[in-house]
Every structure is written in C-alpha cells, then in structure tokens.
Amino acid sequence: MASSLWSPLSLLATLLLMQTLAQAQTSSDSFIHSRAAYYPNSDEKGTDSGACGFGSFGATINGGDVSAASDLYRNGVGCGACYQVRCTNAAFCSDKGVNVVITDQGSSDRTDFILSRRAFGRMAQTTDAAASLLNLGVVDIEYRRVSCSYPSKNITFKIDENSNYPHYLAFVIWYQQGNKDITAVQLCEAQNLGCKLLDRSYGAVWTTTSPPSGPLSIRMLFSDGDDESWVVPTNSVPGDWKAGETYDSGVQVNV
C-alpha cells in the first residue's frame, strides 16, 4: 500500500516514551459554554451502534455515562475522549456534573453533546431535579476535557467482528486512559520488528488488509497537540488472533 511505512524499532523511542508518560497531566482547562441533550428512546445507557465502532462497550463503558459528540467527534479522533459536563441551572444542577466518554457522533438543537439518559440525569443535584432536567430535554451546559481513568484496566485491543483472519484485521482500542488523543497506530511484527501505519477506517476502528503473520505489536501515538509519544505494548496480539476476541496490551498510560 502506498501509505504504508515500514520502519525499524527504536528502543530509545520506547525509553523516551516512558519518561513522557511519567509526567502525567491534570486538566486545568476552563469550562466552555454549550448545550446538551440526551438520547431519545434509548435505555439508560448509550447505544451499541455508536459511530465510534465500540459496539456494546460504547454503551456500557464508564457505567453507561457516555455521550455522542458533535464537533468534538473530530472525524473519530475524539472517540474515547472524556469530558466533564455540568448543566448551569442552579436550581437543578450539581457543581460536579458528570464525566462522560465519547462513543458516538451526533448533534441535536445546537448541542455539543447528546448524553446517555443516565449521564444526563446525573448532572442533577437530586432525583427530583433529574426528572426536571429530563423534562427540559435540552439544557445549557459547560464542559471541559478531563482525563479518562480506568483503574485496574490496561489498554486492550478488541478485534472487530468484521475481521477476517488472516486477510483483514480491524480493531478498536479500549480503556484509553488520560487526556490525550490516539492520532496514529502502527502495526508491528513482534519478531521482525517491521512496522506499518494503519488507517483509521472510521470512528475508533483501525484496519489493515494483509496483516503480517505471527505475533503482532500494536503501537499507539498519544498526542495532545503539543507533544506526542508512542505507547509500546508489552504484550503481543497472538499470531492466531480471532475476530471478537480481546487482547490485553499489558500497558496503560498514567493519569
């Protein structure tokens, strides 16, 4: 493929990366004003068919506190990002609001977020206030990017059900911790160390035709615009990977 780029492994890059990850960032960004709605006709949680391609994970991750994003979807780069969203009506809304994970794309009436029903209600101070909020349907909010946190979870690769071993590999990345975006993914041969950049097919789904045989190492570029670093897994995806299966990378980024 024309866009493929094979390059040798650099141990130095790995070491630099570890250093960068040790400098965890906390979010001190100020809030941005916007509006939020919630999924109509949905159950409490998100949707299994979210645009990010996370499947049922995208409905239930973070206890179901998930959201569709409008501009923040950013052609899929925004998938897996976390935001603190709080409504601004002092009579109903808590200071803390709710932290949501982006798992879908969508907009309603000038909204940046379409929250799961559960997440929408959790912006309220009380159960009664939640009922009032839900009655409003669309509310003024303010939001900011925050770190995602998945205690006791490593970054995990979920092989998409549409994969076709050994000809076509598609996967999504689960438990993307922190507040950086995954902007590129490299598929490397765990033994020969040749790598190629993958294509983002849509949402959070990365794909390649004719993946190399043998164990695979999936590297991820974490970026916040200012600095970026490759995260190198300690575990390989086995050479006999299976559609629908999940594989633990053995690594996690610090928050």
Ligand X SMILES: *[C@@H]1O[C@H](CO)[C@@H](O)[C@H](O)[C@H]1NC(C)=O
Which residue number, 166 or 250, has a Cβ lying nearer to ligand X?
250
Q: Quick check: 199 binds ligand X (CB under 6 A)?
A: no
The distance from CA 12 to its chain's CA centroid, rounded to whole angstroms, is 27
What residues numbered 207-246 form the site for ligand X, per CB under 6 A?
A: 234
Q: How far is the CB of 122 from ligand X (least distance, A)?
A: 26
Q: Quick check: 151 binds ligand X (CB under 6 A)?
A: no
Q: How far is CA 51 from CA 76, 103, 169, 175, in A?
A: 8, 7, 19, 17
Which residue number, 33 or 153, has a Cβ lying nearer to ligand X?
153
Residues 6+ apart with CB under 8 A from 136: none
Cα–Cα dist 179/162, whole Å: 29
Q: How far is the CB of 80 from ligand X (least distance, A)?
A: 18
Q: How far is the CB of 156 from ligand X (least distance, A)?
A: 8
Residue 133 backbone phi and psi in degrees, to 5? -60, -45
Which residue number, 20 or 154, has a Cβ lying nearer to ligand X?
154
Kindly indicate which of the ranges 68-76, 93-101, 149-157, 199-207 contains the residues binding ligand X, using the contact rule CB under 6 A. Answer: 149-157
Q: How far is the CB of 154 from ligand X (least distance, A)?
A: 4
Interface residue with ligand X, options 184, 239, 248, 255 (CB under 6 A): 248
From edge to edge, which strands make up the β-sheet containing 246-248? Answer: 199-202, 205-209, 168-174, 156-159, 246-248
Residue nearest ligand X, CB atom distance: 250
Q: Quick check: 154 binds ligand X (CB under 6 A)?
A: yes
Query: Using an 8 Å Cβ cutoff, are 87 and 57 in contact?
Result: no
Which residue number, 132 or 246, has a Cβ lying nearer to ligand X?
246
Nearest to 254 by CA among 83, 23, 61, 28: 23
Kindly indicate which of the ranges 55-63, 84-92, 126-134, 146-154 contains the residues binding ligand X, using the contact rule CB under 6 A. Answer: 146-154
Which residue number, 105 or 236, has a Cβ lying nearer to ligand X?
236
Residue 152 backbone phi and psi in degrees, to 5? 65, 20
CA angle 119, 125, 130 (to 5 degrees): 55
Which residue number, 129 or 190, has a Cβ lying nearer to ligand X?
190
Number of residues that bind ligand X (CB under 6 A): 6
Query: Using an 8 Å Cβ cutoff, are 65 and 137 in contact?
Result: no
Residues that bind ligand X (CB under 6 A): 152-154, 234, 248, 250
